[in-house]
Amino acid sequence: MEERWGLPIRAWPKRWRPNRWDLLALPLVFGFLALVLWGGMKMGAHYELWHPLPLSLSPSHLPGYALRTVLRMAAALLLSLGFSLFYATLAAKSRQAEKLLIPLLDILQSVPILGFLSITVTGFIALFPGRLLGVECAAIFAIFTSQAWNMTFSLYQSLRTVPAELVEAARMFHLSPWRRFWRLEVPHAIPSLVWNTMMSVSGGWFFVVASEAITVSGHQILLPGIGSYIALAIARRDLEAIAEAVLVMLVVILLYDQLLFRPLIAWSARFQPEPPEEAGALRPWFLLVLQRSRFFDLLQTGILALNRKLDAAIPRSRRQKEERLASGRKGGLERLLDIALVFAAAAAALSIILFIAKGVSADEIGRVFLYGLFTTLRVFVLIAVASLVWVPIGVAIGLRPRLADKAQPVVQFLAAFPANLFFPAAVAAILEFHLNPQIWLSPLMILGTQWYILFNVIAGTAAVPLELRLAARNLGVRGFLWWRRIILPAIFPAYVTGAVTAAGGSWNASIVAEIVSWGHTTISASGLGAYIARATAVGDPPRIALGITVLCLYVLAFNRLLWRRLYDLAAERLRLD
């Protein structure tokens, strides 16, 4: 009789015995670990600074390049999730922290990836001298900046809009802040967070070319990956290589859709107030493996045991402490913190102004503000057009779980498709038909960011309570009245999150959309994106700082005057409901 640890398998508890599902689960787990170890070894290889890495357009190298790109995106996704949980929670629960963190988040999402790279790549290289890991960390950080802000905004919006009756129920059960966070607030945020995580991963593909083909101070580093492969193919005008890269990217998207996001979407349906009637029938095959495999069952048991120990170790907060925080002494401390925040912002602004003034004239600063106006006008026109197109489509998909299940991989691929591949067609069409680049380069800004609106509208529609839909149907509410009174108010918080991140992403995308190249042909439009791209290409720190500062000012002003008021309106409506 076969034995393990001195005991026959039949003597084990039944739930610990391996079953046929483990035959599928264990190879997947060990295969995944082997691939991670292989990728880690490649990322930690020796590297001479500014020495070109070997990169080939041979199709045989594409699987390895795809794996390295996926590992970078997975590392960035884990960092983004941890950052979102900490940052959004602090901003949603502390009124004083919110005054600093949300404007800072507005600024961070508007800083172009090239701006982050130009500042951080040399620092990462210095951390790991003689190793490729420094450049890899810079690329991972760049992908992180394309994923984290959307997830953070989504979690922040969900934490601010927890229904009042659920908060009251948590209070009645005397849940500690720790338990309320993990038992109420995080489950409430999971459906929206899963959809936004999926969008963040897909959106990361849009910037994967910029993150793997790093240009700093006139030097270019091409990291092995799909992004650098596409960048090299565009530079050589190799359409066949571009098609091969797109095909491999499609295979990768289908794989992580099957192994990650499809199970997550099905699992997250349990956290909706009333899961759709069809949700039980939509059980992805990999979710069945996770649920029926004894290996994952043991893993889940260990995680739950750890969670119970944490619950027991963290004491419940005392009401006396809450009363002290709510006392009058808090007002004076808040005023002091506000004054300190104003002085810190003024000092930072003064240092930036002095740095810019050393290398840039006043006339040029004025022109850059005008460029910012052009880019802002493009962004808001594009957001309005994208909203008119994708809100109805998102509502139609969100109301039909079976349709959402079929459309999910298609939407992921469209969202992940690098807009850079449309640039050659855009350049050719503009030159062939003598079009105005100021107008016809603008749609390239929204190609990779319009999907934020679609994903958030789908998530918001799927979360609409079933009784609200049935009541509207029984009362005969249809047509424009249904849109105005039922669905638009219900999806309003989710739409605001999508519109905010789409606008931020469009400002960010302007650096690759307002100046495009195909081979030796370059076409540009007047705007902040083109200005920052040129300054980054020649390594001009004062002009890079000027472009990013003006971009941040525009984004911060519009977020404060428009988007933040819409956030407050959405939260107030939910509290009243």
Q: Which structure tokens are listed for 14?
A: 């039944």
Domain 24-282+354-576 CATH superfamily: MetI-like (1.10.3720.10)
Average pLDDT for 203-211: 76
Higher pLDDT, 415 or 267: 267
**pLDDT confidence of residue 76:** 92
Lowest mean pLDDT across 72-86, 150-164, 563-577: 563-577
Q: Which residues pair with 515 in a beta bridge?
A: 524
Nearest alpha carbon to residue 295 among 32, 26, 27: 26
Which residues make Cβ contacts (< 8 Å) with residue 114, sequence separation at least 6? 210, 215, 511, 532, 533, 536
User: What are the backbone angles phi and psi of residue 527, rounded to the nearest 5°?
Assistant: 175, 170
Nearest alpha carbon to residue 528 among 296, 368, 381, 346: 368
**pLDDT confidence of residue 384:** 92
**pLDDT confidence of residue 328:** 47
Nearest alpha carbon to residue 460 among 161, 86, 146: 161
**pLDDT confidence of residue 551:** 85
Of the chain, the end-to-end C-alpha distance in Å amounts to 64
- Report how far residue 368's alpha carbon sits from residue 376's, in angstroms, rounded to the nearest whole number: 12
- Report how far residue 512's alpha carbon sits from residue 445's, in angstroms, rounded to the nearest whole number: 8
The number of residues making up the chain comes to 577
With a cut of 80, say whether residue 549 has pLDDT above it: yes
With a cut of 80, say whether residue 521 has pLDDT above it: no
Burial of residue 13 (CB within 10 Å: 0-12, 13-18, 19+) is exposed
By percentage, how much of the chain surpasses pLDDT 70?
A: 84
Average pLDDT for 486-506: 85
Nearest alpha carbon to residue 209 among 220, 193, 225: 225
DSSP 113-173: HHHHHHHHHHHHHHHSTTBTHHHHHHHHHHHHHHHHHHHHHHHHHHHHT--HHHHHHHHHT
The secondary structure element, H or E, covering residue 4 is strand 3-4
- Report how far residue 33's alpha carbon sits from residue 485's, in angstroms, rounded to the nearest whole number: 51
Average pLDDT for 500-506: 82
Average pLDDT for 281-298: 75
Say if residues 378 and 527 touch (Cβ distance below 8 Å). Answer: yes
Average pLDDT for 273-299: 69
SS3 state at 514: coil
**pLDDT confidence of residue 277:** 54
With a cut of 60, say whether residue 3 has pLDDT above it: no
Higher pLDDT, 283 or 442: 442
**pLDDT confidence of residue 243:** 86
Average pLDDT, the chain: 79
**pLDDT confidence of residue 370:** 92
Say if residues 77 and 201 touch (Cβ distance below 8 Å). Answer: yes
Nearest alpha carbon to residue 504 among 463, 566, 546, 453: 453
- Report how far residue 421's alpha carbon sits from residue 423's, in angstroms, rounded to the nearest whole number: 5
**pLDDT confidence of residue 11:** 47
Domains of the chain, residue spans: 24-282+354-576
**pLDDT confidence of residue 79:** 94
Burial of residue 470 (CB within 10 Å: 0-12, 13-18, 19+) is exposed
By percentage, how much of the chain surpasses pLDDT 90?
A: 9
- Report how far residue 356's alpha carbon sits from residue 352's, in angstroms, rounded to the nearest whole number: 6
- Report how far residue 112's alpha carbon sits from residue 110's, in angstroms, rounded to the nearest whole number: 6
pLDDT digits (tens, 9 = 90+) for 49-60: 667 778 888 888
